[in-house]
Amino acid sequence: YSSAASDVYKRQDVSVIVPVYNTEKFLQRCLDSLTDQTLKDIEIICVNDGSTDNSLKILEDNAQKDKRIKIVNQENKKQGAARNAGMQIATGEYIGFIDSDDWVDLTYFEKLFKTAKEYDSDIALATNVRIGKNKFKKRLNLESVKKYTELQDKLDICHQWRNECPTNKIYKKSYLEANNIRWPEGVYCEDKLFTIKAVYFANAVVTVPEVYYYYFDNPKSTVNSCTKEHRKKLNIDKNNARRDVINFLNEQNANVRDKNFWYVKCSIRLFNTIPLFTVKQSTKTTKGILFGFIPVFMCGGNK
């Protein structure tokens, strides 16, 4: 990697990892929200994932101005590999992940870090706000500081089954390493398996109110790409990620609310589009569905 601070080896409070791929229109906003943080002992690891626009130039210009910015260059390998590359060189006690078209409050890392330390928590959790055209929606609305240690409570406060957001949290680096928690590479929806492992192994999740991560609903993001080929790949990877989550929970003999986690085990479709018959699997339950909404059988221990 290249860095304006390659001669500085001081352990930081937080390492912020930013995967960057062709986000020149939004990147400066993201970087400004990081360099202006009230918590000064941070390093900002920007992984340029094979960008073909002006993103690398923007990173280099900012690194000249702020010695805390480190740049990692690699060929395009998707977000999972980019985040893993950042984790390999991170020196912070805690690690945070920011997407390069998103931004955070200027007190974001100070509040999360201080609360995580005060409550001896492996994860500190902030409110995630989704922003798009005429859209401002809080995915979470945390109103107080509270520490959660029981697995189901941790899953519930994170809304893990429907909002497996990895970016509105900071994670203690030592426990990520101890449990070998890394990102799946070369696939979409890599956040599902990473976050379920991170929440499962965390000694606690502590909530931090009145501080926000702003998720920008970028119409050109990988999630919103409209090509038929891309959507097919995305849907396959999403279902495989859900399967991997259930496999992980079962391997751990995790006592979780069964109805929250499902994947499509098999599906028969008319003309490759209309769902005729689908079999879904959870941690304990198998169910058959006709035409996408009519339940025809269920077996196992749903609860």
CA distances to 144, 185, 217, 278 from 237, rounded to whole Å, are 36, 11, 20, 18
Compare 168 and 135 and report the one with higher pLDDT.
168
Q: What is the pLDDT of residue 221?
A: 54
pLDDT digits (tens, 9 = 90+) for 15-68: 999 999 999 999 999 999 999 999 999 999 999 999 999 999 999 999 999 999
- Tell me the per-residue pLDDT of 148-173, one tens digit each, with 9 for 90 and over: 999 999 999 999 988 889 999 999 99
Would you state the pLDDT for residue 271? 78
* 122 pLDDT more than 70: yes
Mean pLDDT of the region 117-143: 85
pLDDT digits (tens, 9 = 90+) for 192-232: 999 999 999 999 999 999 999 999 876 555 554 567 888 88
Tokens for 285, please give them. 């339950």
The pLDDT score that the predictor gives to residue 12 is 87
Q: For residue 278, what pLDDT is reported? A: 94
| 108 and 212 Cβ atoms separated by less than 8 Å | yes
Per-residue pLDDT, averaged over 84-93, amounts to: 97
pLDDT tens digits along 240-298 = 999 999 999 999 999 999 989 999 999 998 877 788 999 999 999 999 999 888 999 89
pLDDT of residue 136: 63
pTM: 0.90
pLDDT of residue 218: 63
Mean pLDDT of 127-151: 84
Looking at the DSSP bridge assignments, the partners of residue 72 are: 47
| Strands of 69-144, DSSP E | 69-74, 94-97, 103-104, 123-132, 135-138
Residue 73 CB neighbour total at 10 angstroms: 16
Q: Which pLDDT score, from 0 to 100, does residue 4 have? A: 41
SS3 state of residue 69: strand
2 has pLDDT over 80: no
Say what the pLDDT of residue 222 is: 53
In this prediction, residue 226 carries a pLDDT of 63
Cβ–Cβ < 8 Å for 138, 127: yes
CB 275 within 8 A of CB 267: yes
| Dihedral sign (CA 184, 78, 283, 236) | negative
